[in-house]
Amino acid sequence: MLLKNKKEKIISAAISEFARDGFEKASIDAIALKAKVAKGTVFYHFKSKNELFEEIVSEAHKRFEKIVEKKIENLKTEREKIEKIIEIEVDFIHKYRDLFLVYLGDTINKITSFNVIEGVLNKGITKGEFRKNLNTNTASVSLFWLTAMTCLNCKDVKAKEIQDLVLKGILK
């Protein structure tokens, strides 16, 4: 078994606490207890609960976008890219459910753009794959949230079911 360093233990414990209790109710005391470190150790690595939370959210966003960009770069059509993005999001939620819940908790409180998705949609319109009157900002946000909420609320949902639903709304 590979031992985690203290910072990784803190982050793992914080993800669990933030996912369960939300940012406001989660406490540094509970995070330290779950990580099996002293409270001072948490503050050694992070100046505040907010800094810890922001690092988790930032890393989740970077990890997700990096996975998406890598897996869609060699696909030929924008439709294939949208299908792959949905598949990746479903897989990500299944693998990193607590991390995704923390990310959603932050995302819901901010105006967030989904640049990768919006870029694919814009390119798909230009290439004639998607409807010309598609509002790509609204569609990218809708695609992300539809996939997230469906996946979180329907544990056995398959990416193909969401793909079919989304594509009916954006195809020409």
Tens digits of per-residue pLDDT, 34-79? 999 999 999 999 999 999 998 998 888 888 888 999 999 999 999 9
d(CA 135, CA 166): 14
Average pLDDT, the chain: 88
Identify the CA nearest to 172 among candidates 126, 130, 120.
Answer: 130
Joined together, the tokens standing for residue 51 give 């800094």
CATH of 1-46 given 3.55.40.20, 3.20.20.120, 1.10.10.60, 3.40.50.2300: 1.10.10.60
List Cβ neighbours of 83 (8 Å cut-off, separation of 6 or more): 159, 163, 167
CATH class label, 57-170: mainly alpha
**Residue 24 pLDDT grade (very low, low, confident, very high; cuts 50, 70, 90):** confident
Rounded to the nearest 10°, the torsion over CA 165, 151, 65, 141 is: 50
Residue type at 102? V
pLDDT recorded at residue 112? 67
Q: Look at residue 43 and give its three-state secondary structure.
A: helix
Rounded to the nearest 10°, the torsion over CA 6, 65, 86, 76 is: -140
> Which is higher by pLDDT, 37 or 115?
37
* Residue extents of the structural domains in the chain: 1-46, 57-170
**Res. 2: pLDDT tops 50:** no
Residue corresponding to tokens 């009157």:
133
**Residue 1 pLDDT grade (very low, low, confident, very high; cuts 50, 70, 90):** very low
Model-wide pTM > 0.85: no
**Res. 151: pLDDT tops 80:** yes
Interval 15-38 mean pLDDT: 91
